[in-house]
Structure 1
Amino acid sequence: MTPTFCCVCGCSRLPVGGSRSRQDPAEALSGAEGIRKPDVALFEIAAKRCAVTTLAEDGWMIGDNLTADIAGGRAAGLRTIWIDRGTSTGQDHGADHVVTDVLQAMEILQTER
């Protein structure tokens, strides 16, 4: 199975639009949607655009913000990977995996599909 990629973020630099299939990248941008992480609705929009019927179906949230990314992803039923940049040392993170860079996160996605 080809992994699904969904982007849920607050930036406005990513292109939006076009029809999406399960194999195509999709995004849900908080500025365009009018809601922000950790609101579960933003994750639901991304899942719908990825043609995923439930958030927990093959879903992951990768991020470096414990509240918006990790807590938001967990609240949405997603598995989570926290990119620990050393700013929250000793804090309970609740993430499924902890890495120090995006490449390590990608390795996890490849082994856990």
Structure 2
Amino acid sequence: MAVPLAILDLDGTLVDQESAAGEWAQQFGSTWSLDSDAVEAISSALAERRPKGEVFAEIVRRFALPVASDDVWTDYRTRMPALVRCTDADRAALIDLRSAGWVVGIATNGMVDNQVGKIRATGLSELVDGWVVSSEIDVRKPEPGIFRELARRLDTALDGWMIGDSLDMDVAGGQAVGLQTAWITTDPASADDPVPTITAASVADAVRVILA
């Protein structure tokens, strides 16, 4: 019998990316004496699902900052690992999966220094069997290659679940490679959205259903 595989997204799924980005925006705004409206605009831009290089170029241009956008992006990647958090309940869920005989991995879009920094700083590196970051293989979710590469690294079949907060990246991507999917959200889906196997408010809630 094949060992089941659980693939999890990182930002917005295992770690609270939005709150951490908001905290970074507050610190950045203080450094550059930006008002609260500017800080809110930066926080909103960071929440968008698009390449962060574009976001930081836009921020520097919009607020006429005398700094290179690449330097701002580097600062963001350097500081974010210390700002993100993973809940105790979600940590326990990962332990439960592995105790039940599952192989557990993380598939995340982003830059290696930032994403691996988060995985290590939160202690997730000790709770999963491995990970893959899009920038190191030049393949992003929802492309099948990133899921296949993670399964290859973990030396296991691509058979199990994809758990994530993005319908387009995680649910649609997981479905394309034959995985069952858990959408982490408290929002309703629209009629045109991919339909996940289950919907849950947190990783812990999803894992309880998966292991039941």
Shared fold by TM > 0.5? yes
Aligned counterpart, 1:14: 116
Distance 1:51-1:105 versus aligned 2 partners, 3 A rule: same
Consecutive unaligned residues of structure 1, counting only runs of 5 or more, are 17-23
Give, as a single letter, the amino acid of the residue that structure 2 aligns with 1:10.
N
Higher relative contact order (CA 8 A, sep 6+): 2
What is the CA distance between 1:89 and its match in structure 2? 3.5
Q: 2:190 aligns with which of 86, 90, 93?
A: 90
Aligned counterpart, 2:103: 4
Give, as a single letter, the amino acid of the residue that structure 1 aligns with 2:153.
R
Question: Secondary structure at the residue paired with 1:98?
Answer: strand
Give, as a single letter, the amino acid of the residue that structure 2 aligns with 1:26.
G
Rounded Cα–Cα distance in structure 1 between residues aligned with 2:209 and 2:116: 24
1:35 pairs with 2:134: no
Q: Does structure 2 conserve the Cα–Cα contact (< 8 Å) formed by 1:64 and 1:85?
A: no
- Runs of 4+ aligned residues of structure 1 deviating over 4 Å after TM superposition are none
Aligned counterpart, 1:19: none
Rounded Cα–Cα distance in structure 1 between residues aligned with 2:198 and 2:134: 25
Rounded Cα–Cα distance in structure 2 between residues aligned with 1:108 and 1:50: 24
Name the structure where helix makes up a greater proportion of residues.
2
Question: Secondary structure at the residue paired with 2:107?
Answer: strand
Q: TM-score, normalised by structure 2?
A: 0.43
Q: How many residues align?
A: 101
Rounded Cα–Cα distance in structure 2 between residues aligned with 1:108 and 1:33: 32
Aligned-pair RMSD on alpha carbons? 2.2
Q: TM-score, normalised by structure 1?
A: 0.77
What is the CA distance between 1:45 and its match in structure 2? 0.4
Name the structure where strand makes up a greater proportion of residues.
1
Counterparts of 1:1-113 in structure 2, within 5 Å, are: 2-11=101-110, 12=112, 13-14=115-116, 25-52=129-156, 54-56=157-159, 59-86=160-187, 88-91=188-191, 92-111=193-212
